Structure 1
Amino acid sequence: MELPGLAVLAGAGELPIHGRLCLPDGDVPKTVMLAQHGSTYNNTYWNSAFEPDTYNFSRAMTDAGYAVFAIDRLGYGGSPRLTPQLLTLEVHAEVAHELIGKLRAGEVGGEAFDHVILVGHSYGTATAWRESAKYNDADAIIGTGWSNSVTPVPTARFLATYYPAQLDPKFAAMHIPPGYLTMRPGARGGDYFYAPGGFDPEVVDYDQNELRDTAPDGEGTFAARFGAIPLAPSPGSHEDIEVPLSSQTKQITIPTFQVLGSKELQFCGTDQNRCTSSQRLQRDESRFFSERACLRSAVTPNSATSTTSTATPTTPTPPSGPSLRTCSARTAAIRTATGSTARASPEPTWARRNPGSVPDRTEWALRSGPGQVSAVSP
């Protein structure tokens, strides 16, 4: 489905945003997750058609009683590919801000939601943190694959896998504007997104051939915009550097949950020493958040950046902390208000009708349950 009418770029008019809304069977829930993908992905990161019982985030969350609205951020998937230098972190955050309002107002699929949880992967987490630092208008944040400290050498190796999308066989015929990048063929199988020995090789093939998208180079400009030039050493470390958003995250005042894979190269420090336990990660990250964020961090074993694609999915348990009583009260209040009791849901009708495929993403929204797949006007 497409949402018209987002005016987030001066002079660009109203921009449509494409996304997929997934709802559980039965009554429409009070809570929706606004899911934002990372660099070189699109909404299919959350809606994998490969072994969806294992790897499809939206299915798992609708089974648990939540709605999920997974978008293609500007420059990705079915959303407009604008001049890439314009698509900065600030613009993506403004899009998220407007979408939160539309989700609450019933302007997405005709369903009004009382509560919105921002969910992010990698750059999508950076977007959620930036939006919340500025507006704090969501009810909570779940961020994966992102941290306030980055290890320079593996990050440089990772960025070296990017090259112009026009040179890639998958995108060569799409007439993508200059300034859009993608990861080189075969790079998905490196140790950046997947931990060696912790994934199904077929997942990597599916990622490379089906999930991989392009990325606008404007996303990299946030380093200069948020005062990270020159990058500063991370407190307590001689090898890590602060990611630019660390000056912003202290302004977040809504409950924040962070998840990193234990084999994450870019954000877990030298030899992944920051991710030896959930407690260690939370101790390091808590310096960058205020107590009002009720930060809880968790480490998933044997996974890297793509935590939704581990061979053995796990549900991490946030560690305890000094403000646990206050944070637990706030979390309980949110759970009570959202009515997020898990309930079983049949597999989505599209999965039964078309095994291994997904309806055209510009035409369909997804509801679980018999007879619940419905067309959406573009």
Structure 2
Amino acid sequence: MTACYESPVNGSHGSYFNTLTPTYYPPNGDCSDFYVPIHLDYEQPDLNITKWTNPYELQDFLSSLTARAGAMNPQQAPFGATKRFTGDYEIAASFCTPKKPKDGKEKVVIMATHGIGPARSHWNSPYKPDEFNFVKFALEKGYSVFFYDRLGCGASSRISGFEATLSTASAVIKTLATSLKQGKYTAHIKPSKLVLLGFSFASFTIHSTIAESPSIADAVILTGIGLNATAGLGLNPNGLIRSFVPRIANVENPALYGDRDEGYVTWPSVFDLIMNYFKAPFFAPETATFTESAKEPYAIGELLTFPGPASISAEKWDKPALHLTGEKDYIACDGDCAKDGIYETPSREYYKNARPLQLSVHPGASHHVNFHANATGAFEVITAFLDANVH
């Protein structure tokens, strides 16, 4: 197979990930691709900023936003009054079911949502699939997987980066989950159980969504998440905005990202990716190069809203929940999830009614659990959790 990701230069990298039908699918699955039409109607605080038109204006916004309290003009607060948003879009999605079903487990459908940075290939890596492809691993265990490009990413419809936020992503998840539970877009499979699986931004989105609407799924698996917002221990929003080094995507790579507006940003280099997503010596440099070549830009509204759910309790959730994060996760735990009980607090309180709640700090990994050397170990934890709790 020849794929664009093998040569991430001159604007060609990543084009493989902007097509509806990828060139790789696991040989142990029967897979199909399709566009899912969705209608969104939701409310959220409006992004109350002067929209930048060049990198200099973006940089001024970021420096003001991350300045210490009192240094920023109150009129520049990022979000204003609540506003209603509506729109019709298409979501690029794939569905795979195992070629060799096992004990009816193929009727347990995992709906997988990627985070900030990758497209849906996060779950279906064409690069070293025996090591990094979650879909292949899940199919081997007997489960079916539905995975899709988030709105604005991959082959899905575009939306303004000044509109898209965590609330937008939540509205998409609700719409897709409803369709899947009705047996739409799952080929001949009528799901017996629906499992929401997220990575990073998507995990925070799912957490927020099930806190409000716990009936939309039968189990949740949240990877790359940490709900402790204590300064210096857990989530560090200002620090993350700085370490993500946001740059206007259509300026950084007009050939690839020219179809996004100035509200879409990306980090400049593989080293900025490594800062947030990887930790030596638990990854190979060529793996980081691959994930950099496969990156998608993200909406500024997504970056600004993803920490918000850390203050939301999911006490209404009374079904199975797994949280799995790398031991050295820089985004969720400021670099160390194993100390001070920061991963357990406040997750055990927020999910006090989950039956069961499993918190797993995965050794030898940072945020990008799917692409560290022991990724299949994380995949084993996920499928073992399903084996034990979702029937």
Whether TM-score is above 0.5 comes out as: yes
> What is the alpha-carbon distance in structure 2 between the residues aligned to residue 292 and residue 95 of structure 1?
24
- Which residue number corresponds to residue 165 of structure 1? 249
Deviation at 1:333, TM superposition (A): 7.9
Q: Secondary structure at the match of 2:220?
A: strand
Equivalence for 1:5: 38
How far apart are the structure 2 equivalents of 1:173 and 1:62? 33
1:67 and 1:96 map into 2 onto residues whose CA distance is: 18
- Asked if 1:77 is matched to 2:160, the reply is no
Correspondent of 1:148 among 209, 227, 239: 227
Q: Which residue of 2 aligns with 1:362?
A: none
C-alpha contact (below 8 Å) 1:120/1:144 kept by paired residues: yes
Residue 296 (structure 1) aligns with: 358
Residues 23/314 of structure 1: CA separation in 2 closer, same or farther (3 Å cut): closer
- 1:222 equivalent to 2:305? Answer yes
SS at match of 1:84: coil
Match of 2:259 in 1: 175
Please name the residue that 1:196 is paired with.
Answer: 280
| 2:314 aligned with 1:249 | yes
Residue 275 (structure 1) shift: 1.7
Q: Which residue of 2 aligns with 1:135?
A: 213
What SS does the corresponding residue of 1:147 show, helix, strand or coil?
Answer: coil
Unaligned runs of 5+ in 2: 1-33, 43-83, 229-233
- Determine if contact 2:321/2:354 at 8 Å carries over to the other structure: no
| Amino acid corresponding to residue 285 of structure 1 in structure 2 | S
1:124 aligns with 2:202: yes
- Deviation at 1:331? 7.3
Alignment CA distance shift 1:49-1:333 (3 Å): closer
Which of 10-19 and 23-32 deviates more? 10-19
In 2 relative to 1, CA 289–45 (structure 1 residues): closer, same or farther, beyond 3 Å? Answer: same
Q: For residue 163 of structure 2, what is the aligned residue in structure 1?
A: 86
Give 1:332 shift. Answer: 7.5
Amino acid at match of 1:245: A
Q: Which runs of 5+ in 1 are unaligned?
A: 224-241, 319-327, 338-378
Q: Could you list the per-position Cα deviations for residues 14-55 of structure 1 after superposition, in whole angstroms to 9, with x for gaps in the alignment?
A: 321111111111457111111111112110111110000110
Aligned-partner Cα distance in 2 for 1:331–1:215: 31
> Is the counterpart of residue 60 in structure 1 residue 125 in structure 2?
no
Task: Tell me the residue number matched to 1:262.
Answer: 327
TM-score, normalising length from structure 1? 0.72
Q: Is the 8 A contact 1:165 1:171 kept in 2?
A: no
Structure 1 contact 84–218 (Cα < 8 Å) conserved: yes
Q: Is the 8 A contact 2:267 2:273 kept in 1?
A: no
Tell me the amino acid that sits aligned with residue 240 of structure 2: T
| Contact 1:93–1:128 (8 Å) recurs in 2 | yes
Counterpart position of 2:48: none
Tell me the distance in 2 between the aligned counterparts of 1:306 and 1:222.
20
Is 1:315 matched up with 2:377? yes
**CA–CA separation in structure 1 for the residues paired with 2:323 and 2:41:** 27
Task: Output the CA distance in 2 between the equivalents of 1:171 and 1:301.
Answer: 38
Is residue 252 of structure 2 the alignment partner of residue 187 of structure 1?
no
Instruction: Note if 1:306 corresponds to 2:368.
Output: yes
Worse-matched range after superposition: 33-42 or 308-317: 308-317
1:374 is matched with none
1:290 to partner: Cα distance: 2.3
Q: Is the 8 A contact 2:111 2:147 kept in 1?
A: yes
Which residue is equivalent to 1:367?
none
1:351 corresponds to which residue? none
User: What's the CA shift for 1:131?
Assistant: 1.5
For 1:16, the aligned partner's letter is E
Query: Could you say what the CA RMSD is over the residues aligned between the two structures, in angstroms?
Result: 2.8
Matched, 1:107 2:170: no
1:155 partner letter: L
Cα 1:255–1:218 change in 2 (3 A) is: same
Structure possessing the higher relative contact order (Cα contacts under 8 Å, 6 or more residues apart): 1
- Whole-Å Cα distance in 2 between the matches of residues 287 and 334 of structure 1? 20
Distance 2:85 2:115 in 1: 26
CA distance change for structure 1 residues 171 and 311 in 2, over 3 Å: closer, same or farther?
Answer: farther
* CA-CA distance at 1:170 after TM superposition: 6.6
Identity in percent: 22
Matches of 2:167 and 2:259, distance apart in 1? 26
Q: Match for residue 109 of structure 2?
A: 32
Change (3 A) 1:173 1:259: closer
Q: Per the alignment, in what secondary structure is the counterpart of residue 331 of structure 2?
A: coil
- CA shift at 1:334, angstroms? 4.4
The Cα offsets for residues 108-148 of structure 1, whole Å up to 9 and x where unpaired, read as: 14332121100010001011111111111201111111111
